[in-house]
Homo-oligomer: A and B are copies of this chain.
Amino acid sequence: MSRFRDEIFEQPEAAERLIGGSGAQVGEIAAELRRRRLAGLVIAARGSSDHAATYAKYLFEIRNGIPVALAAPSAYTLYRRAPRLAGFGVIAVSQSGSSEDVIAVVDEGRRQGAPTVVITNSPGSPLAAAADHVLDLTAGAELSVPASKTYTSSLILLAMLSQALDPEKTFGAALAALSRAIRGMLALESELARAAEALQGPRLAVLGRGFNLATAQEVALKVMETCAVLAESRSVADFMHGPIAVVGPGFPVLLIEASGPTLNEMEALRGRLVAGGARTVVLTDIAEVPAHEAELVVRLACGLPEALTPIPFAVAGQLLALAMCDRLGLDPDRPPGLQKVTITR
């Protein structure tokens, strides 16, 4: 048994603790952001946290109507030509709070008078020290190199912030039901192991769209980190604009399909991939997805609005990557060439 698996299984409790304990502070931050009448948000992050930033982009743009720019940190560090941030707020997401480039974006935001919010599992970190507001992931020490609980906890805090900015009753109730939804994913471990078998190979495409583009990115990264498989993640729309040319017969493709407005596009592409002989596996909360021949559907029943599905879906993806890694006999906790904390400039 690995630390990675242990930490995956800690997620229901981590979610409960976070949702139960962070509401007041999230509410205060939302009140300040509202007062500032922001034109937009800049979000800085790396690695798994950058996929939380992708989630935040869809969440704040679609739920809150706020344009979101993902920071290009080199503008702040290597080029030393940060953009003018008047009218923007800055959010940084980092498990460790140590990466120099993410710190530089927050430093610059503060210097220019932008409100700055840091989401981190290390409230004593230099990143936390640089910000006006610190939201602690309270996930406990994460020791496996691939992130699991810090990723889902980052998504939860972002969802709480979005909800505090524009409260909605059903969304609030769904937030309260999140830890149960995560538990539901943990019960699917053996089904996800069968999906892992179908996806084995040196190459993989992982596709999503909208809110679950972030899930596709995060699952692809888990697979790259733990299995040394080259896993390309894309929105289905981007995939059709070129990368689909790589998919021949037998090429493994994982599709993350949530119920909601993106489903038709996902299904249309899936039909094309199946017709072309691709080996497709679908993770979805839809009850009625037809299982074509030579393909596997894992039902991730979670009863959540689409905007919250990336949280349990990421958990399913972690278990899938873990099963692929187990089949290869590799150690998920210590991927070659990686440390837990990566500092980039």
| Known interface pairs A69-B68, A202-B202; A88-B237 also in contact (CB < 8 Å) | no
Contact B39 A86 (CB under 8 A): yes
Residues of B near A209 (CB, < 8 A) are: 74, 78
Contact B79 A237 (CB under 8 A): no
| Known interface pairs A40-B39, A87-B39, A230-B232; A241-B203 also in contact (CB < 8 Å) | no
A101: Cβ under 8 A from any B Cβ:
yes
Task: Identify which of A41-49, A125-133, A285-293 touches chain B.
Answer: A41-49
Contact B337 A276 (CB under 8 A): yes
Residues of B near A40 (CB, < 8 A) are: 39-40, 67, 69, 87-88
A221: Cβ under 8 A from any B Cβ:
yes
User: What 1/0 mask marks residues of chain A from 79 to 109 whose CB sits below 8 Å from any chain B CB?
Assistant: 1111111111000000000000100000000
Residues of B near A58 (CB, < 8 A) are: 72, 74-75
Contact B67 A79 (CB under 8 A): no
Task: Identify which of A2-10, A24-32, A175-183, A245-253 touches chain B.
Answer: A245-253
A345: Cβ under 8 A from any B Cβ:
yes
Residues of B near A243 (CB, < 8 A) are: 221, 224
Contact A81 B69 (CB under 8 A): no
Contact A203 B221 (CB under 8 A): no
User: What 1/0 mask marks residues of chain A from 303 to 320 whose CB sits below 8 Å from any chain B CB?
Assistant: 000000000000000000
A238: Cβ under 8 A from any B Cβ:
yes
Residues of B near A39 (CB, < 8 A) are: 39-40, 86-88
Residues of B near A84 (CB, < 8 A) are: 65-67
Contact B245 A338 (CB under 8 A): yes
- On A, residues with C-beta under 8 Å from B are 39-40, 42, 46-48, 50, 57-58, 60-63, 65-70, 72-75, 78-88, 101, 146, 202-203, 205, 209-210, 221, 224-226, 228-230, 232, 235, 237-238, 240-248, 261-262, 265, 272, 276, 335-338, 342, 344-345
Q: What are the nearest 7 A-B pairs in CB distance?
A: A47-B241, A69-B69, A237-B344, A78-B261, A245-B335, A39-B87, A61-B83
25 residue pairs bridging A and B, Cβ less than 8 Å apart: A39-B39, A40-B67, A40-B87, A46-B237, A47-B241, A65-B83, A65-B84, A67-B84, A68-B69, A70-B70, A74-B237, A74-B261, A79-B261, A202-B202, A205-B230, A221-B242, A224-B242, A224-B245, A228-B245, A230-B230, A230-B246, A237-B344, A244-B338, A245-B336, A245-B338
